[in-house]
Structure 1
Amino acid sequence: MATSAVVPQARFSAQTRLRALQADIMELILDRELEAGDPLPTESELSLALGVGRNTLRESLKVLQALGVLEIRHGFGMFVAPSNFEALADGLTFRGRLSLRHEGLEALQLVDVRQALESGLIGSSIDVMTAEQLARIEAAVARMEQLAARGESFTEADAQFHSLLFEPLANDLLTSLMDVFWKVYRKIHVEIGAETGDLTAIAAVHRSIYNAVALKDKTLSSELLNRHFDGIRNRIAEVVAV
């Protein structure tokens, strides 16, 4: 019993040290004011600066590479990675799809986050939206309606619609997060078999959102965006209840 209790503690301590080393490497990048694309010191220099062995350092570097903090170019060295949300999207997609096998909690939470982002920020976007931007949103809706009339899915037009809604905010981080949640949302959508819904009705929902935005009705726009996510939330609940 005593021996079995020691092993988890040792593992915990090792993981704690690795996380601390990863934090130290990120602090070193910040302290040296390195930018995306800048080279990092060599492994030997990092080992000396951080006071750790090469093997331990390499473990942390691999984790940071997976997290998108740095990239390792074999034969060239290590560099501060450019902005990349692919790892985040992949991780959230996996967690969401995995949760569908149980109670679907994480999948539902991901839908909640996307819903909160869109319904919460639409008012601010309406405040600064130009006539040209509004026209592009309407064009995306028209495309969805055309495809729905032919019985064709409109995934790209749907994604464009939601992206254009928040383009007026000119917030690159928001755009990246929206893209992440869209990718996650679409994967979950396919996983639960929600690709065969009433396309005409879905296009009509987007038309109603556009109309509210065009009227600069912030309250109605937010309310309609909230309702927009009810369908997939209900479908997730049905799937995990089976």
Structure 2
Amino acid sequence: MPTNANRTFPADETAPTPQSLIGAMLPFLRAGEFEPGSRLPSERDLAERFAVSRNTLREALTTLEAMRVIERRPQSGIYLRDAASEASLDTLVLEADYDLPMTADHVRELNEFRSIIELQAISLACDRGSAAQLAAIDAVLDTTRLRLAAGCSVAEQDAAFHLAIFAAANNQFLLRAANSFYLASRRRRERFFADPDNGRRSFAQHCKLRDAIDKRDRLAARKLLGRHLGSVERYWLSTLPQPESTKRTAR
């Protein structure tokens, strides 16, 4: 029987769901105790560690395997996959849903990925975007303007604006990748746009991006977007905890 020290869930939670179990297992798997490729504890041991039934555990493992977090090998056991080289974008969404912390390297690489796909998307939007797709961008900006005037968050409108650019690129695979990114960054956007000043600055930049797309000016659009994405990256890096060595130097 598991001891209280092994419990991951509140004592009054008698029937954890597979989803809540995934939320407990992800930090456990990413804590560094297990190297990529190493064998994890058995189903029995994991069930005891997290104080859950074997059925609940198996459902959670099935999801983690589908997301390429783990691999189950018949007659061998459960193995941890390499998150950097094997996990899918859906895994990123899953980890973000549970608000797992990101390192500075993760922030930089995620923003690098975003820059690669979004700079290409806005170039294509300048070339391929239709009048109807530009009208969709305008509709998002109109809603953003109204919400800012009412003092409301524009986190959802920010994602909608950028996804409308991807839609105007007329490439379904770019749009699919963007959907995963914006789902994964949902919680961070909510925190960012809790500050009304961030919403106003972002809206002003979005309006300039819209005008560049309307003029089909690829060079201006890419330059504006590069600045926009760079400011976002600097903001998120500034929110990360500083290493102790950096703190001592700053003093």
Instruction: Give TM-score, length-normalised by structure 1.
Output: 0.59
* 1:109–1:190 CA distance, 2 compared to 1 (3 A): farther
TM-fit CA distance, 1:14 = 5.8
SS at match of 1:216: coil
Rounded Cα–Cα distance in structure 2 between residues aligned with 1:140 and 1:12: 45
Instruction: Tell me what 1:105 maps to.
Output: 105
Gap change, CA 1:209 and 1:164, over 3 Å in 2: same
Aligned equivalents of 2:120, 2:89: Cα separation in 1: 22
1:130 is aligned to 130
In structure 2, the residue matched to 1:196 is 195
- Compared with structure 1, are the counterparts of its residues 94 and 160 closer, same or farther at alpha carbon in structure 2 (3 Å cutoff)? closer
Q: Deviations over 1:62-95 (max 9, x none)?
A: 7543449xxxxxxxxxxxxxxx96434224x389
Segments of 5+ residues of structure 1 without an aligned counterpart are 1-10, 16-59, 69-83
Bigger relative contact order (CA 8 A; separation at least 6): 1
- CA distance, structure 2, for counterparts of residue 125 and residue 203 of structure 1: 19
- Report 1:16-165 matches (<5 A): 64-67=65-68, 86-91=90-95, 93=96, 97-100=100-103, 104-165=104-165
Q: Check conservation: 1:148, 1:200, Cα contact below 8 A.
A: yes
Give yes or no for contact 1:119–1:222 (8 Å, CA) kept in 2.
yes
* Aligned residue in 2 for 1:238: 238
| C-alpha contact 2:125 2:213 (8 A) present in aligned 1 | no
Residue pair 1:97, 1:188 contacting (<8 A) in 2 also: no
**1:125, 1:165 within 8 Å by CA — same for their partners in 2?**
yes
Query: What residue is the counterpart of 1:47 in the other structure?
Result: none
Superposition RMSD in Å: 3.4
| Match of residue 166 from structure 2 | 166
Q: 1:94 to 1:144 in 2, by over 3 A?
A: closer
Q: Identity of aligned pairs, percent?
A: 21
Cross-structure match for 1:38: none
CA distance 1:237–1:95, change in 2 (3 Å): farther
Pairs aligned (count): 171
Q: Is the 8 A contact 2:213 2:221 kept in 1?
A: yes
Flag structure 2 segments of 5+ consecutive residues without an equivalent: 1-35, 41-60, 70-87, 243-251
Change (3 A) 1:240 1:200: closer
Q: Does the aligned pair in 2 maintain the 1:108–1:236 contact within 8 Å?
A: no
Q: What is the alpha-carbon distance in structure 2 between the residues aligned to residue 189 and residue 64 of structure 1?
A: 28
